[in-house]
Structure 1
Amino acid sequence: MKNLLRYHFKVFLKSNKLLVPFLIYLFYLFTAYGIIPYSIVSSFSESAWVVFFIMTYVGFSYTEVENPVTEQLVLLKVKNDNLYYLSRIVVLLIVGIIMSVIGMLYPVISNIYNSSQLFTRELLLSDIMFGLALHCMMGFLGAMTGALFHPRIIKNRKIAILMVFFAAVLAVAKGALIEEVPFIGFITWIFPPVYDILVTFTNNEYFSLQTIAIPFLWGLLYGTALMFVQIYVLKKNKF
């Protein structure tokens, strides 16, 4: 596993596809926390769905990095399809965790720099812990959403781009869509539950285990389901 992770990171870093997402997220953090004071729960929730969008892009772009011939050669050498595909997912998880840590470190440092005046109340350790968990879960959900549109699953890349964009947007905006067209709710449940998760924190002043436990588990289960679907289809759809 260690050698596979090293290999995947080397391939991904050489593609330079990670630079733009990180710069975009840093720019977002810089502009978002430029207005003070800010509600902790709402700001962390907003930052988390931005991580979802960015990791959806990262997951999607990651599927196009490796050359199919090289992938076949590595699979032949490893002789374990599950291990190979899991190692790719672990790389995405690590990227998502790094992005999430940045998303939490920036406001914490900025709050210290602004003499604890960045937020409307005192920043607690529980806020940081629950906020990081929310970011990591959203990162995982986004990565698995983007990775599902693999070239061997959706061969037409133009359609794949439209589909992943559509899925990411509806994941966040389906609440507003259901309000306008209620019956559409029978369809939108299949999209990532980003809205369903974040709406539970609306008007909340504090994070708590009671409020975050079920949304966190729901996002984790949905992302895990996407992961297994991807691995199953990739193993079935050979080169």
Structure 2
Amino acid sequence: MKNLLRYHIKVYFKSNKLLLPFLIYLIYLCTAYSIMPYSIVSSFSESAWVLFFVMTYVGFSYTEMENPVTEQLVLLKVNNDNLYYMSRITVLLIVGVIMSVMGMLYPVIFNVINHSQLFTRSLMLSDIIFGLFLHCTMGFLGIMTGSLFHPRIIKNRKIAILMVFLVAVLAVAKGSLIKELPLVRLVSWVFPPVYDILVTFTNRDFFGLQMMVMPILGGIIYGTVLMLAQIHFLKKNKF
């Protein structure tokens, strides 16, 4: 596993595909936190759904850079499909955690620089911990959503791009769509529960363990289902 992780990390970072999403998220953070004071819960929630979009792009672009011939050779050498696919996903999860930490570290440092004037109330350790969990969950959902549209799962890449874009948008906007078209509620569960998680924090001033457990657990379960589905389809759809 360790050698596979080194291999994937080396290939990924050499491709420079991480540079664009990193810059996009950094620019967002610089822009968003230039406004003071900001509500802690709403700012962290907004940052988390932006991270969802960024990590959806990361997951999708990662599958685009894979070379089928190289992948076959590595799979033959490893002789363990599950281990190979899990190592790929682990690399993406590492990237997701790094981006999540960045999403939390920036406002924390900026708040210190501005003498604790960035937010409408004092920033507490619990805010940072819960905020990090929220970001990691959204990053996980984004990774699994984007990487599900693998070239071996959806061969037409134009359709894949359109589908991943629609799924990502509907994951966040399905609440508004349900208000306009109530019947959409019957199929809304198909899309990642980004809206379902974020709506929990609407008009909240504080994070709380009790209110976070179910939304975060739901997000982790959904992402895990996508991960298992991806591995299943990749093993089924050979080269």
TM-score normalized by the length of structure 2: 0.99
2:147 is equivalent to residue 131 of structure 1: no
Cα distance between partner residues in 2 of 1:224 and 1:123: 32
Match of 1:171 in 2: 171
- May I ask how many residue pairs the two structures share in their alignment? 239
Matches within 5 A, 1:77-92: 77-92=77-92
Shift of 1:227: 0.1
Shift of 1:118: 0.2
**SS of match in other structure, 2:16:** coil
**SS of match in other structure, 2:187:** helix
Shift of 1:189: 1.4
Match of 1:223 in 2: 223
Q: Could you tell me which amino acid in structure 2 is paired with residue 48 of structure 1?
A: A
Q: Could you tell me which amino acid in structure 2 is paired with residue 126 of structure 1?
A: S
Q: Deviations over 1:89-122 (max 9, x none)?
A: 0001000000000000000000000000000000
Segments of structure 2 that go 5 or more residues without pairing to the other structure are none
- Greater Cα offset, 185-194 or 119-128: 185-194
Shift of 1:10: 1.0
2:152 is equivalent to residue 152 of structure 1: yes
Shift of 1:51: 0.6
Matches within 5 A, 1:180-219: 180-219=180-219
Match of 1:162 in 2: 162
Segments of structure 1 that go 5 or more residues without pairing to the other structure are none
Q: Could you tell me which amino acid in structure 2 is paired with residue 205 of structure 1?
A: D
Cα distance between partner residues in 1 of 2:64 and 2:21: 16
**SS of match in other structure, 2:122:** coil
TM-score normalized by the length of structure 1: 0.99
Shift of 1:235: 0.4
Q: Deviations over 1:185-209 (max 9, x none)?
A: 1122100000000000001100010
Q: Could you tell me which amino acid in structure 1 is paired with residue 174 of structure 2?
A: K
Match of 2:114 in 1: 114
Match of 2:35 in 1: 35
Cα distance between partner residues in 2 of 1:211 and 1:113: 31
Q: Could you tell me which amino acid in structure 2 is paired with residue 107 of structure 1?
A: P
Identity of aligned residues (%): 77
Matches within 5 A, 1:46-85: 46-85=46-85
Shift of 1:181: 0.7
Q: Deviations over 1:57-90 (max 9, x none)?
A: 0000001112000000000000000000000000
Shift of 1:14: 1.5
Cα distance between partner residues in 2 of 1:197 and 1:147: 21
**SS of match in other structure, 2:51:** helix
Matches within 5 A, 1:1-12: 1-12=1-12
Cα distance between partner residues in 1 of 2:160 and 2:133: 29
Q: Could you tell me which amino acid in structure 2 is paired with residue 8 of structure 1?
A: H
Q: Could you tell me which amino acid in structure 1 is paired with residue 95 of structure 2?
A: V
Cα distance between partner residues in 1 of 2:71 and 2:207: 43
Q: Could you tell me which amino acid in structure 1 is paired with residue 4 of structure 2?
A: L
- Given that residues 40 and 205 in structure 1 are in contact (C-alpha distance below 8 angstroms), is that contact kept between their aligned partners in structure 2? yes
Shift of 1:15: 1.3
Q: Could you tell me which amino acid in structure 2 is paired with residue 116 of structure 1?
A: S
2:232 is equivalent to residue 237 of structure 1: no
Shift of 1:126: 0.1
Cα distance between partner residues in 2 of 1:101 and 1:152: 32
Cα distance between partner residues in 1 of 2:187 and 2:222: 16
Shift of 1:184: 1.1
Cα distance between partner residues in 1 of 2:214 and 2:144: 19
After TM superposition, which residue ranges in structure 1, 4 or more long, deviate above 6 angstroms? Answer: none
Cα distance between partner residues in 2 of 1:66 and 1:227: 18
Alpha-carbon RMSD across the aligned residues, in angstroms, is: 0.5
